[in-house]
Amino acid sequence: MAMPSSPNRSPTVPDNPIARFFWKGPPMTTNSADTANTAIAKEAVETNGAQSQQTGPPTLQLDNVSYAYTKGGKRVLKNISHDFQAGKVHAITGPSGAGKTTLLSLISGLANPTEGMVLVDGTDLSERDRYRFRSHDSGVIFQSFNLLPNLTVAENIILSMDASGKSFDKPKKAIVEELLKQVHLPKEYANERILHLSGGEQQRVAIARALSYGPSIIVADEPTGNLDLATQDDIMGISRTLAHDGHRCVIIVTHSPEVAKTSDEVFELAPIRRRR
């Protein structure tokens, strides 16, 4: 499930997925029509904005968030509130059309809510430098990997590091080797071209790329959707290590009951109930 391009997006947005994620231009937001929506979390039921109780300060908060793609159009999301904490793997589930990928776009700073706020460490994301947020604080993992197939593993990862504009205290090749170790790939893979790798190996590289500039929030859109069960289990093991040992906030959109079962929290979206 690829992140959708909003009809509100400026025509200047680049097509390359890496360049698009680091794009500096702000997406536009709009007004929307009345609808109803429910969201359910493992600890509590969330209906039209009823928020679940959690312990510890949240890294990322949804505060009464609604979204519509066009001015006066039907809402994809309405009145969603929830806290996402560091040190946990959060699964966002729900049937097709419930707004999971749209919500992930809001969380990752690729779009602004029509109403409500996305708060990061207590600050409204719409008031922050979103280029810095996307290039320093959050990393995105795509279902389709979005790697450049003719480049090597190291070149793909270093390209992301360069695009972030961040300075590093180690040689980039040394960082690449450390990242490959984190995602269970031998350091020799650094010089392999992406087109020679299996799907599971490419997803590991995609995770390493998302980690390359040290983000505290990792968002993933169906990261195990195209993988066999053994590889899926390994990817989830990596995700749990990133959250539990690395104290990151890991947020995964998934249709997989197995992924949801092995996450620390399940946040379920239900389709909007349209007024007749």
Summarised one tens digit per residue, pLDDT across range 152-207 is: 999 999 999 999 999 999 999 999 999 999 999 999 999 999 999 999 999 999 99
CA dist., res. 52 & res. 144, Å (int)? 32
Ramachandran angles phi, psi of 240, nearest 5° = -65, -40
**Cα-based torsion angle of the residue sequence 239, 224, 202, 157 in order, rounded to the nearest 10 degrees:** -40
Tell me, what amino acid is at 113?
P
Question: Is there a domain that residue 83 lies in?
Answer: yes
Domain count, the chain: 1
Range of the domain at 43: 25-273
- What is the CATH number for 262? 3.40.50.300
Q: Output the six-digit token pair for 24.
A: 């500096």
- Confidence label for 57 from pLDDT (cuts 50, 70 and 90): low
Q: What is the pLDDT of residue 276?
A: 54
Neighbouring CB atoms inside 10 A of 20's CB total 16
**Cα-based torsion angle of the residue sequence 11, 15, 16, 21 in order, rounded to the nearest 10 degrees:** 40
Question: Is there a domain that residue 107 lies in?
Answer: yes
Strands 217-221 and 249-253: parallel
Q: Output the six-digit token pair for 112.
A: 């602004």
